[in-house]
Structure 1
Amino acid sequence: MTTQTAPGTARSLNEVPGWFRAIDQDLFRVLLDATATEPGDLLEMGCYLGKSAILLGEHLRAEETFTVCDLFGVESHGLYSRRDTLAFYRQTLTREAFEANYLAFHENLPVIVHGRTTALASRIERDSCRFVHIDASRTYEDMSGDIDIARSVLRKHGVVAIDDYRTEHVPGVAAAAWEAVFTKGLRPVCLSAAKLYATWGDPEPFQRAVRSWAADRVDRVVADEKIDGDPVIRVINAIPGPRGARRLALELLPPVVSRALVRPKTGR
């Protein structure tokens, strides 16, 4: 996360506090462009201080609606996995700070739903969204419900981005995300270190868009994987130099090979 900047004073996205990594900023842009073949609304569940919302707003077209839902630090009991996380959000997250940050980059605010994400089920039309970002509660029950809402409001050829799908201190998020893959028809498109990107439609066109984008980059690498026989791609940072090549090999090679690379040398 960047150094804390006073709300509304940031002049670049990287100055806005938040955990929105550069590689995910790239993937958001690629997939937002890929979903823009026809009008569709944007939805974010959990916005913190607006870093990802600001980027989403850059891709909002005149005929589309962008909705943001967050508790903004109020009535947050039970929604975070650790007490210190709850305290942190209460101290730093306010609706006023989010609005100031967003308006530093855009003329108009998105539609703001100040409350729990359960309210979205009756506020967002079915099959109306082309991109949904889920980054709200960290409990299994809430995350599972948020995925169900995304499934309802996302059009068939839309994309959902699920944050923290592999973070160790929020196992409920991982449980809900992979449950959706294996029991709710969610099909992974690609994986970053922080987010799972998926669709209830055909992932191949989106994977093609990611591959095409990565082919022109020297700082990104695409690795091919399979989940239950279906192709999925991982997108990781390319690290220049000999050490970078070794670290990249550790990321990409099978475990039996990567273990050989890290095996300590013995003297003779």
Structure 2
Amino acid sequence: MSQFSLNEKSYQKILSFMDDIKVEDNNFRKEVLLAFEKLFGFHKMNFWLCDEQNNLFDPVTINIDKDITKDYLDNYLEADPVLPHKLKHIIPKRRVIGLLDLPKIEYEKNEYFNSFMKKYGIYNNTAIFLVKDSQVVGLVDISSRNKKKINENKVMCLEIISRYLAQRFHEHLLLKKTGNFFFENSLTPREREVLRYVQKGFSNKQIADMLFISVNTVKKHVQSLYDKFEVNNRTSLCFKVHNFEN
């Protein structure tokens, strides 16, 4: 990639993207894709999770038919040349790699290109690798009917964004894990029972009757939940629990 300076418009796009991304957002991956669509005009995208063995799974998609994703997962995933384990020699230096960046011989005779991409009218696929501590933790892939590469200015923007996004995505995953740990280790079995009934809208009296305990005991459990979640009413409790769980 040649050396050049980003213009003011590109800087503003990067800053706008950063402003749009919220670690605590329940729909973090979907919001990332929507931000890419709004700011860069990308249309068909997947946001994949990636495990420690560099396997992709659980995609969140926008503007891609479910049947296409299923066909890819069932029949063509391993034929895809733009996968983390196939590009591990490139990823340390570059985070944005397109199919058209590879030597033609690597994809033009490839089953993925000829049997899958052409079937759905896709002629380019660009992957944005999210790397944290040398491990790929996620991947955003952009499909295009355009036979040209993404222009160099956009690629540079995406290279910068990929570093920022990797850190934010790591924080998002950590936040979700922290929430699960909290539920498993900080609440007593009875508190979890009471909490589920509170979430369903039952009163203290109804909860007491269903659990065969006194109303005062239910009140003590509810107050304990308030203290642990740092809230002071049922509505705030349910809202905070919902954020933890999602």
Q: What TM-score, normalized by structure 1, do the two folds share?
A: 0.23
Between the two structures, name the one with larger relative contact order (CA 8 Å, sep ≥ 6). Answer: 2
